[in-house]
Every structure is written in structure tokens, then in C-alpha cells.
Amino acid sequence: MQHNTRRVVVTGIGVLSPLGLDRQSFWQGLVEGRSGAGPITRFDASDFQTRFACELKDFDATNWLKKVEAKRMDPFCQYGVIASMMAVEDSGLDLSAIDLERAGVILASGIGGMSVLENTHQILLEKGPGRVPPMFIPMMISDIVAGQVSIRFGFKGPNYVTVSACASSSHALGNAFKTIRYGEADVMISGGCEASITPLSVAGFNALKALSTRNDDPLHASRPFDADRDGFVMGEGGAVVILEEREHALKRGATIYGEVLGSGYSADAFHLTAPAPEGEGAQRAMKIAMADSGRELEELVHVNTHGTSTPAGDLLELQAIRKVFGSHADQLKINSTKSMTGHLLGAAGAIEFVATLLSVREGLIPPTINVETLDSEVDLQIVRGEALKMDLPLALSNTFGFGGHNASLVIGGHES
């Protein structure tokens, strides 16, 4: 089957975010311009350079999972499984009525079971190798979340996890999109999950000088495009969607949130942690995604940026947007939802895909908060202050990761 005859739509959404533990509260928090940041409660962070993050609030895995199930999952896996459960329920899929061999799972986690790794290493040091739990490896490895979801729903199609740092879940979503487009599946569960607010992770990112150290004011620490930004704020959570071949969705009367139109990947081939000059790799990812969508550059209205709140990264992404879209860049409405959710690392692409999708569906762009003094080098329209109401036929979500991994996704409203 020719891939261009198969359209891919979104029919279900599941979200666990620092702004709320479901899709509705997540979206409401974005529109209200609410920060999810606060002091770290996962461990005693008093000796750390950064002592705050965007944690999930009031999360208890046993509200969704049996106690024995939750105990056998690292938090990252809990987040991915629960968000998948939410998405499947939201989609209204009748699992007894679909071909499970044409249903698959492609999820993502940039770091995987960091809590289990750190805790088990402590057991090894204190009690010796004989006390390492037998479930340690199956709980730690990143791919286990796709396995858990596949087993739970009986999906027997393509099944794996992508790992490409902060671009991980955008790659997962793009691959799931193409899997359906190319006729290899009709339904895919896709997205990302991350639970890396742990001592070793925070210490590691502090060592890289990547995190904000605005400990006296966590709510205003994530400030993309602000002149006084000093690094990103760690976040955690999961975001998962149901991607479905359009005719398959229409035949069962599914609610359609929007349509995935294109994806683009590239590599900087430049530096382990720094973006390429002028965002050259990001430029190519955006160009490939727009070409893949079959839409003209002038049709794009909105870009949900990677926008991490790092001094170099924010400006290089805006330079890349300017290079790709030329004079049309002046018309684009730009935001960064990381100003509210923090940076979910391997789950960032997924949660920002959902934010962009809902922006298109609702005709509403959430603001970038905490922009008190716009960087003097910013020459594009940053949506800030309050949400912007407007027609959004076409939007782009960007995600870039350590190692020079770049991914862009094009999202449109559903058209008959």
C-alpha cells in the first residue's frame, strides 16, 4: 500500500504531568500559565546546587495499578503504563474488535530506571551481590515499558523503545506515525515517560552546569527566552497517545483530536551537548518534517519550541526557525511549555506533542511564562503573558537532545 494514501490521526491521550495527573488538568495548567516547580521532595537535596524540580504532585501508582504491579515497576515505567492506560481508555478502543497483530507500541525514555539503579546499587554496596533483587534488570532497562504495555493490552505488532536523550519520545512518535503510514500497523500506542529526579541525575546535570540554580524562586526558574535564564528545570511524568489509521478510526466512530502530518530527523554531528552553530541540525529536521507533511512553509502558524531555558539553546533554535522560514518567521507564534512543566528529558517530546495537538484542537496557544525581560537577541513573536486565541491549522513541535539528535513533528487539525 502506498504510504501517502494512509493518514494518521490521534484518537486517545493520556498525561501524567507536573501540572496535573490527567489531560484536562494538564491543559488547564498550561492555559492558566501555571508553574509546576517546587522544592524536591523525592530525596534530601539540601547539599545540591539545585534543590527544586517539577515533580508529579499527589501521585500514587496504586490508584491505577495493583500494589504488586506497581512494586515491580520503576517510577518511569509506572508513568508510561498508566499514561497508556489513560490513552487507551480515552480512545474508546474495543480491544476485542481490532486486529492485535496490527497494533503496536513504540514508547521512549531517555534514562530509564534510574531510581531502581541507584537503590539497587546501594543494596549491593551495603549487603553484597547475593541481595540484589531478581527483578532488578527487568525493572531498570528502558525497553521494559513497551513490553509492559504490550503485554497489558495484547498488542502484537511493532514493539520497542527509542532512546535519543531529550528527542527520544519525538522519535518514538515519528516512528509510530510512519509505521501506520507505511501500512505496517493500524493502531499504535506511542509517547514517552521519565522519572529522573534522583540524586545521581540531579548531581550529574549540576556537574554539566545545565540546571537552573534559582533555589530562592523555583516558580520563576524556568524562563525560556528571558535575558536572565540560567538553565533548565528538571521535570518528570508521562504522555502517551493513540495513533490510528484514519479510516480505521472513522469506521469505529472514534473521536479525532488531530492529524500527524510529517516528521523529520537529523543529526548535528557536532558536539556531545552543545547545539550546532545557527541550529544547523535543527534547521534540517524542520525542513524535512515540513516537506514530509506536504504543506507549504507559509501555512505554518505555531511552533512549540524545545525552549529549555538554557542560554545558548534558546537562541540557536530561534535562529534555526528564522533560517528555515525566512520572512514568514515573523508571522509565527512561538512558545515553550517547558516554562511550566520543566524539562521532562526523554518524555519532553511527547508531552509537548500533546500540548501542540491540544493547541491546534482548541485554537489556543499557552503562554511562555516567566519572560520578564525578553532577551535582546530574540526577534520572533514569543507568546507570553496569557494564552493566545487564534485559528491554528498547522503547528510544529521541536525536540533536540544531547548527542546532536533533532526531531520535528508537524501536526494539523483533522480534515475530512
Question: What pLDDT, in 10s, does the model give residues 217-257?
Answer: 999 999 999 999 999 999 999 999 999 999 999 999 999 99
**According to the model, what pLDDT value does residue 394 have?**
98
For residue 166, indicate whether it is catalytic.
Answer: yes
| Domains of the chain by residue range | 9-251, 262-412
Does the global pTM surpass 0.85?
yes
Q: Which of 77, 166, 248, 414 is catalytic?
A: 166
262-412 has the same fold as 9-251: yes
**According to the model, what pLDDT value does residue 318 have?**
97
**According to the model, what pLDDT value does residue 415 have?**
74
CA–CA gap between residue 142 and residue 381 (Å, rounded): 38
For residue 121, indicate whether it is catalytic.
Answer: no
- Which residues are registered as beta bridge partners of 242? 12, 189
Residue ranges of the chain with pLDDT lower than 50? 1-3
Q: How far is CA 213 from the centre of its chain?
A: 23
Fold exhibited by the domain 262-412: Peroxisomal Thiolase; Chain A, domain 1 (3.40.47)
**According to the model, what pLDDT value does residue 403 have?**
93
**According to the model, what pLDDT value does residue 4 have?**
57
Decide if domain 9-251 falls under CATH 3.40.47.10.
yes
> What SS3 state is found at 84?
helix
**According to the model, what pLDDT value does residue 2 have?**
42
Which DSSP state fits 155?
A: -
- Burial-class residue 374 by CB neighbours within 10 Å (0-12, 13-18, 19+): middle
CA–CA gap between residue 22 and residue 38 (Å, rounded): 19
Q: Which of 248, 302, 306, 414 is catalytic?
A: 306
For residue 405, indicate whether it is catalytic.
Answer: no
Q: Which of 171, 248, 302, 343 is catalytic?
A: 343
Query: Nearest-CA neighbor of 354 among 294, 399, 296, 312?
Result: 399
**According to the model, what pLDDT value does residue 414 have?**
87
* HEC assignment per residue over 4-45: HHCCEEEEEEEEEECCECCHHHHHHHHHHCCCCCEECCCCCC
